[in-house]
Structure 1
Amino acid sequence: MKYLGYLLLLCLLPIQVLAGEGRANLFIYHRFNEPRYASTNIDLETFREHLEVLKKKGARVVRLGEVVHRLLQGGLGNETFVSLTVDDGFRSFLRAFELLRQYGYPVTLFVNTDAVGGASYLSWEELATLHGQGVEIGGHTASHPHMVNRRDGETREAWLERLKTDLRRSREAFRQHLGFVPDLFAYPYGEYDFDVQSLVRQFGFRAAVAQQSGVVHDASDLFALPRFPMGGPYASVASFREKLAMRPLKVLSARPASPVLSGENPPVLELVVDAGNLIAEQLTCYVSGQGRGVVEWLDRAEGRLRITAREPLRGRRGKYTLTAPGRAGGWHWYSHLWIRPEIDESGY
């Protein structure tokens, strides 16, 4: 009877608990102690404090590749992971790497190969040494383009062929200089659409990370994994602690699914969320540069809602960020990226 009672209890548990409530909080950095580049920089002392927070909390810090491996092999279970990633391969990474070695934490470095050896970039020799010391290296294209943008008069076929040429050049550079081809990818500027995702899959990458904030869970899109940016005003220790504690706000479907804004502005986003573990009436949307957006529940029992900004989005990239407290405590987070390719943006 005791055994039958145990089986009955299992059957009554919520499905999401049986499926596992594991998560991975990914963080993205770019430059270290380079205050000229305020929006993507973090000073070394603040970065050291980030690592100290991880140490004091006993966080399980793993390479991004391990998170991806677990997702591909069935999920994260009920465990919580943290992955630290760095984009672009600037030489200032060497300053951060010394701290990472002191704390014994792994890191994943995404490299755009055309820049290697440039004035402010790591050389191939330095990258080879770092890889030998355990740094996981991922692809970041060759030329760091805005991958969703077509040139004037460029057909879809010509655009995709240009991207393929860029990815081939990157792949061959890694093979020639490091002796291997990375299987993890980071979209330059965090920008992607369905065609870009498909192309990255075709080139044999296991997963790709973007730059919209959020928490990875078992049902996350492997080719649009979210990361919390840690640069400029978002790099404070308080912000890091807050993002480290976040749990996933699980989105079951989104319409439109593509982040490229091609219709009305402000865009209307319709979501179906797993609201069972949320205090749904306290769900809030924040719009980049505007404050709170408008949240309309279409069917709270089914988790269906409609979200829009109060004003048109003005920048090249914007986000609708949803947060809600959980019934078991803590906060849940999801961010939907919007891209306006017609807005020019030069440099990085």
Structure 2
Amino acid sequence: MKFSLFSVVVLLMIACGTAKSDGNPEETIAQGKEVVCFVYHRFGDDRFASTNVSIDHFKAHLQYLKDHNYQVLTFAEAIQYLKGDGPAQKTAVITIDDGYKSFFENGLPVLREYGFPASLYINTETVGGSDYMTWAQIKQTKDAGIEIGNHTHSHAYFLNQPASSRYKNFEAELQKSQDLIKEQLGEAPVTFAYPYGELDAKMKAIVSEYFEAAAAQNSGVIGASTDLMRCPRFPMSEYYSDPKKFAEKARMHVPEVTVDQKSFMLPAGQETPSLKVTFHNDDLQLDQLQCFVQGGDCAISRDGNKVSVKSETSIANRRRTLYTLTVPDKSGNWYWYSHLWINPEVN
């Protein structure tokens, strides 16, 4: 059933249909095209600094995109742009997770002011809850040009569930949310965002059966070397949303890389895992490469275009830890790549 539903949605929503990602993004994304994607949660809600952005900062973000002639698309539109044969142009995507009321009350009016679209990912179980948008508000949001995406039903920590039931539960929640959103809004989503940015290989495979693309929460830029089933997004909150920091991230590029780690899962018994990255861009100044590890320092070793990085202290006591690499090219442009380690043993 899910394949026939998916086919109907694609025919309704995408005039020029494309095949879903097969895990080999090099065959689907046009070389030279990039999309910088940002993720927000709350707007003008000072109770939750870790997930909130001030309205002044949000306006500054959108003003920067306007002033610098960015094409602002929904996530679904951006995937079609990446796959299409049109010319490359500066492209940005605004995504919002969870469907908090503060987006409807404070964030959506700003988007309307600038005439920009966005993509809203809702966990359908909480719709109408005390701090969440109602279905009527979500319908108004959709009518305002905002894409509505799937964020599962319960927004659970699926990696905490035993493997014997995890994948059945995960797929059941995807289907339940698809059905509820279609029932309420007339269309089922074609894109997805992982709760907490957490996934494993089997979860990603299930997502690929339902959606054109999926958003994770490791930072970075979407491009030719990106797996469309775990697209990176830059987080925007009061810790990261200073307009200067936003502008720096909006100007970032995606390096052409291959990595030795296909999984986000922290390898068993490894408290300071190594990440080996091979860079394929000819003009990168790898002698100026910088590495950042959340909560600690990073050790770097390099052999030509092959780089190995690792935390100098244990990351085993953190549930999610980012390794982030930045490097300039000879023209002064900066490139960003990050890898997320997840340790489900930490609650």
**Which category describes the TM-score, using the shorter chain as reference length?**
0.7 to 0.9
Counterparts of 1:171 and 1:123, CA distance in 2 = 17
Contact 2:33 2:82 in 1 (8 A): no
Report the counterpart of residue 182 of structure 2 in structure 1.
175
Offset of 1:164 from its aligned partner? 1.6
Which of residues 313, 317, 335 is equivalent to 1:311?
313
Counterparts of 2:66 and 2:165, CA distance in 1 = 49
Q: Work out whether 1:338 is the aligned partner of 2:345.
A: no
Counterparts of 1:184 and 1:178, CA distance in 2 = 15
The alignment of Structure 1 onto Structure 2 pairs a total of residues equal to: 315
- The C-alpha deviation readout for 1:71-116, integer Å capped at 9, x for no partner, is 3346x75322011110000011121111111111111101110010
Counterparts of 1:147 and 1:209, CA distance in 2 = 16
Offset of 1:256 from its aligned partner? 2.2
Counterparts of 1:145 and 1:224, CA distance in 2 = 18
Counterparts of 1:295 and 1:249, CA distance in 2 = 18
Report the counterpart of residue 290 of structure 1 in structure 2.
296
Report the counterpart of residue 248 of structure 1 in structure 2.
254
- The C-alpha deviation readout for 1:3-27, integer Å capped at 9, x for no partner, is xxxxxxxxxxxxxxxx742211100
Higher relative CO (CA 8 A, sep ≥ 6), structure 1 or 2? 2
The two structures have a TM-score, normalised by structure 1, of: 0.87
Contact 1:147 1:196 in 2 (8 A): no
- The C-alpha deviation readout for 1:194-232, integer Å capped at 9, x for no partner, is 111001112x20000011110111221101100000012
Report the counterpart of residue 320 of structure 1 in structure 2.
323
> Which residue identity is paired with 1:207?
A
Contact 1:287 1:309 in 2 (8 A): yes
Which of residues 78, 88, 98 is equivalent to 2:88?
78
Unaligned runs of 5+ in 2: 1-29
- The C-alpha deviation readout for 1:235-272, integer Å capped at 9, x for no partner, is 11111011011111222x22221011023111111122
Contact 2:34 2:82 in 1 (8 A): no
Report the counterpart of residue 25 of structure 1 in structure 2.
36
Q: Work out whether 1:258 is the aligned partner of 2:258.
A: no
Q: How does 1:38-57 map to 2 (within 5 A)?
A: 38-57=49-68
- Please tell me the root mean square deviation across aligned C-alpha atoms, in Å: 1.4
Counterparts of 2:81 and 2:67, CA distance in 1 = 25
Q: Work out whether 1:148 is the aligned partner of 2:148.
A: no
Unaligned runs of 5+ in 1: 1-18
Report the counterpart of residue 169 of structure 2 in structure 1.
162
Percent of aligned pairs sharing the same letter: 35
Q: Work out whether 1:209 is the aligned partner of 2:212.
A: no
Q: Which runs of structure 1 show a deviation greater than 3 angstroms over 4 or more consecutive aligned residues?
A: none
Report the counterpart of residue 101 of structure 2 in structure 1.
91
Contact 1:139 1:186 in 2 (8 A): yes
Contact 1:174 1:181 in 2 (8 A): yes
SS in 1 for 2:230: coil
Counterparts of 2:180 and 2:247, CA distance in 1 = 38
